[in-house]
Chain A
Amino acid sequence: MFGVSLGIRVGNASISAGSPLLLDLYSSAAAAYSVRKLRTAYSDSAIRVRRSSDNTEQNIGFTALGNLDTTELTTFCGAGNGFITTWYDQSGNANNSIQTTAANQPQIVNAGSIILQNGKPSVQFDGINDVLNSSTVALKWVIAALNPLTALSYESFLGYDNRHMLIRNDSTANLYNTGSQLFTPPPTRTFVNNVLTTNLTNSTMQLFAVGSDTVFSSSRFITIGDDNAGGNFASQRISEIIAYTNNQEFTNKDGISTNINSFYSIY
């Protein structure tokens, strides 16, 4: 029997049904959040959304081609807004990132339109009180595709380990790692305070990788949008975060970066 390959081209991202996805190629992630499907065997939803019209919640899944089902999302939200209550973990470890308080939920639909970054759906954090929290896990390496918005003082895009910040902004819009090391695009690799950081960027989106040869801590997992202690909230749009228990910096980092870039057109 002959197989049938179904393929489409979106921007510079070629998506083919049956092609291996990022986590099929680079497995052992501790947690993975995205607006695209990352693992072929993953069969759950992408996100759970609360709509502003009546506060009803609904899971939103993926299309057959592995993209966020934007038709389902806009049909559910209607002309109103949509807020993320759960960003489901696609790694298989059930480290879902959630927000139980309505006022602190980041947004994905605004007045009936999906929030986009580089043409792809993106989760927008307000820099005031929006944050998503996940469960405890030890990790050594994190990569994220995001876009800083309004530059505030002491922003923490990803919080971890009780107030340490993996990525931070300030009033000059510069970006730093936990050791206050300035990111210098593109692409750089620095080693400060036992933290390796790299940054690939264009004017509308940035790809960050942060890692260490020792586990940062197992005390708490990443919070998306604050410093892990309920402060220093970030104004940002974020589309994908993948965290590993092993440092991928010198093994799979380039492959993972290329895979992410092929979808989001970051650099």
Chain B
Amino acid sequence: MQGYKYTTENQAIAAQLQCDSYYGIPKSPEDITQHWVGYNFAELNTPQFWYITFDESLLPVLGEPNEFEVIQTPFPQ
């Protein structure tokens, strides 16, 4: 997948706050929308890491994305 990979959760949160600041989110205190983008934990990968999935709106804030693999939870049988 394309995205932004971080070794610590604090790095992912900092990137998230950069995006919030760039897009002015939240716009008002009563809004439901609190962040522009979310981050996830690749718990099945070794080593584990945090990541943000690529979206074109992130280009001016986070720059060009990287390509990496995230292991998905297997379908329960």
Contacts and interface: CB of A to CB of B under 8 A. Distances in A.
Contact of A100 (B23, B34, B57, B76): B34
A85 B72 contact: no
Given A54-B27, A55-B25, A102-B23, A231 B72 contact: yes
Contact of B23 (A55, A57, A99): A55
Interface in B13-31: 23-25, 27-28, 31
Nearest to B57: A103
B62 interface: no
A154 interface: yes
A93 interface: no
Interface residues on A, range: 20 to 34
By secondary structure, the A interface counts as loop
12 contacts: A50-B31, A56-B28, A57-B28, A57-B31, A57-B33, A100-B33, A100-B35, A102-B37, A128-B53, A154-B72, A165-B75, A165-B76
Given A50-B32, A180-B77, A230-B40, 19 more contacts: A50-B33, A55-B24, A55-B25, A57-B28, A57-B33, A85-B33, A100-B32, A101-B37, A101-B38, A102-B37, A103-B57, A104-B38, A154-B72, A154-B75, A163-B76, A164-B76, A178-B76, A180-B75, A232-B72
